[in-house]
Amino acid sequence: MSVTVRVPAKVNVQLAVGPARPDGFHDLANVFLAVGLYDEVTAAPADELRVTCAGPDAAQVPLDRTNLAARAALALAERHGRPADVHLHIAKDIPVAGGMAGGSADAAGALLACDALWGTGASRAELLDICAELGSDVPFSLVGGAALGTGRGERLQELAVGGDFHWVFAVADGGLSTPAVYREFDRLTPDAPAPEASPALLEALRTGDAAALAATLSNDLQAAALSLFPALADTLKAGTEAGALAALVSGSGPTTAFLVKDADAAERVAAALRASGTCRTARPATSPAPGAGVL
């Protein structure tokens, strides 16, 4: 018997970052939107905890206990006083170290899959609690849709979305370390104001208005990501010239996100980005997408 869970990637349509807190994290106003690029996590009984991974970027995924999926299984097993005797297989389609919460998706997926496999019967609140311990973005991977994350991003308020948005994601050649991007943010922004969600952006989401969303997208980590990975400016320019409504770095990068008018525009912009030589590949995707769910 095995259980497979599908989990979406995310893009941050607003990422407002405050100053570093005493615990090293930053307070955020983080508007998450789940997008239809998915990892699948399968949990099957095994003699001991084992992680395997398949997909184009599988070689970059750690298979030891630093893998967030392994940590999720261990956390659930420990809380319920049982062994984490599970084989977790990750079918990886979300870019690795790309600022799209791929590792967080695997953690949320492993948690839900182990809960179902073991019949743990954990409540939604307990699952969200474990997610928040595992990482700032993990609760959102469980919930999906759209949400405003405050605190370090883990306290979620679900948001209504009035229509589908179409995107293209350009996958960069290489990765960026999230802590390094936050450190660069601190260096570039010594007097960051307290983060606040943009009412105009929340309204654009609520009404499903792509042009209004394009006018209000923002990412306070973008300058830091560009400072560490200057070639991303060429990717942003290529997507904009190809007709995207707006372009921004996704989360801490280096994936770049292009909001487009419709599915046809997504295909056109993706083709232009692939031909531009400024990224490794370009993937169309639609949002919002549902959160982690058993298949």
Q: How many CB atoms within 10 Å of residue 4?
A: 17
| Catalytic-residue membership of 10 | yes
Site string for ligand C5P, 109-138 (x = CB under 6 A): --------------------------xxx-
Q: Give the strands of the sheet with 246-249, arranged side by side.
A: 246-249, 256-260, 165-171, 281-287
96 known ligand binder: yes
Partners of 283 in beta bridges: 169
104 known ligand binder: yes
Query: Looking at beta carbons only, is 3 or 68 nearer to ligand C5P?
Result: 68
Report the first-to-last Cα separation within the chain, whole angstroms: 13
Q: How far is the CB of 179 from ligand C5P (least distance, A)?
A: 3
Binding flag, residue 60, ligand C5P (CB under 6 A): no
Query: Looking at beta carbons only, is 152 or 283 nearer to ligand C5P?
Result: 152
Cα distance between residue 150 and residue 171, in whole Å: 27
Q: Of the ranges 21-29, 80-88, 119-127, 274-282, which one interacts with ligand C5P (CB under 6 A)?
A: 21-29
Structure tokens that stand for 212 in this block: 């209004």
Determine phi and psi for 178, rounding to 5 degrees.
-55, -50
Binding flag, residue 71, ligand C5P (CB under 6 A): no
Site string for ligand C5P, 204-243 (x = CB under 6 A): ----------------------------------------
Cα distance between residue 217 and residue 204, in whole Å: 10
- What sections of 138-258 are H helices per DSSP? 138-143, 178-188, 199-207, 210-216, 222-228, 232-241
| Catalytic-residue membership of 137 | yes
Binding flag, residue 192, ligand C5P (CB under 6 A): no
Annotated binding site: 95-105
| Chain residues that interact with ligand C5P, rule: CB under 6 A | 25-26, 28, 135-137, 152-153, 178-179, 182
Active site (catalytic) residues: 10, 137
